[in-house]
Amino acid sequence: TMPSIFSYQSAEVDWCEGNFERSAVIAEYYNTVNGTTLFSLLLFTPLNFLVLEGAGMGNLSLLLAGIFSMYFHMTLSYMGQILDELSILWALAVAYSFWYPRVYFPRFIKTRKHFFWLSGVTTVISTLMSFIKPAFNAYALNCIAFHLLYLTRRELKKCNDKRVHRMAAVMVVWWVLAITSWLSDRWLCGLWQAINFPYFHSFWHVLIAMALLYCCPLVIYFDVNYEMPSFKPKLGYWPSDSWPVVVPYVTLEEPHKQC
């Protein structure tokens, strides 16, 4: 008989970390703990979205992604895997729907409302297709990052603000470290198990959260330039620029001057 979709270890994916080595109820202990870290770091990102339309949906999507990541690594269940991957898909769908710059809309899309429909239909189709081969979903979701990096590069060409370029560079560094950790865990698991260090996927959780902490202010910065032209966005760091660990944020100033 087919195992229940909620059963422990019924997922198609099993990461490199050994299962139930440190807890009888948590399958991947460090992946789950660092999933909690991911959730904690994502709590900072809603603060940046307060100035944006669709902030509530964006905040909810990010928080659900953190919660479902913890659930998946705790159980390694099929349902956990699906929820983990679909929460990321829908978080990206919300981000694209509300904050994708109008200047990059396809020619046949005339309004934001039309773009909502396009994004919604695409997301529903992608959701249904994700059940065909769930193990492939994570690779497809990671590939979306290349489109986001391409958009960032195009926006940076229009901007001479050194702070913006610096924040984008830091974001890319965190993302490169994150994707390197993710791929290392998938492709070099035998090596890491041989040296008793199979924890690179847990690093991924923290590193991708750090990348998002820098990505979100950039999204806000570019969105304000397009949608709130009467304001001038300015990037900052809390509690101070000089601190080694900071939370980036955006302030709005008047009058607006072109970046």
b (16+ CB within 10 A) / e for 218-231: bbbbbbbbebeeeb
CB-based contact 50:40 (threshold 8 Å): no
3-state SS assignment for residue 242: coil
pLDDT tens digits, 30-89: 999 887 666 655 555 555 555 566 666 767 777 788 889 999 999 999 999 999 999 999
What pLDDT was estimated at residue 245? 75
pLDDT tens digits, 111-167: 999 999 999 999 999 999 998 888 889 999 999 999 999 999 999 999 999 999 999
Structure-model confidence comparison of residues 97 and 1, the more confident one: 97
* Residue ranges at the known binding site for Ca(2+): 14-15, 17, 19, 28
29-253: what fold?
Rhopdopsin 7-helix transmembrane proteins (1.20.1070)
Q: What is the pTM of this model?
A: 0.89
Domain boundaries, the chain: 29-253
Q: What is the C-alpha to C-alpha distance for residues 12 and 14, in angstroms, rounded to an integer?
A: 7
* Residue ranges at the known binding site for Zn(2+): 73, 201, 205
* Residue ranges at the known binding site: 14-15, 17, 19, 28, 73, 201, 205
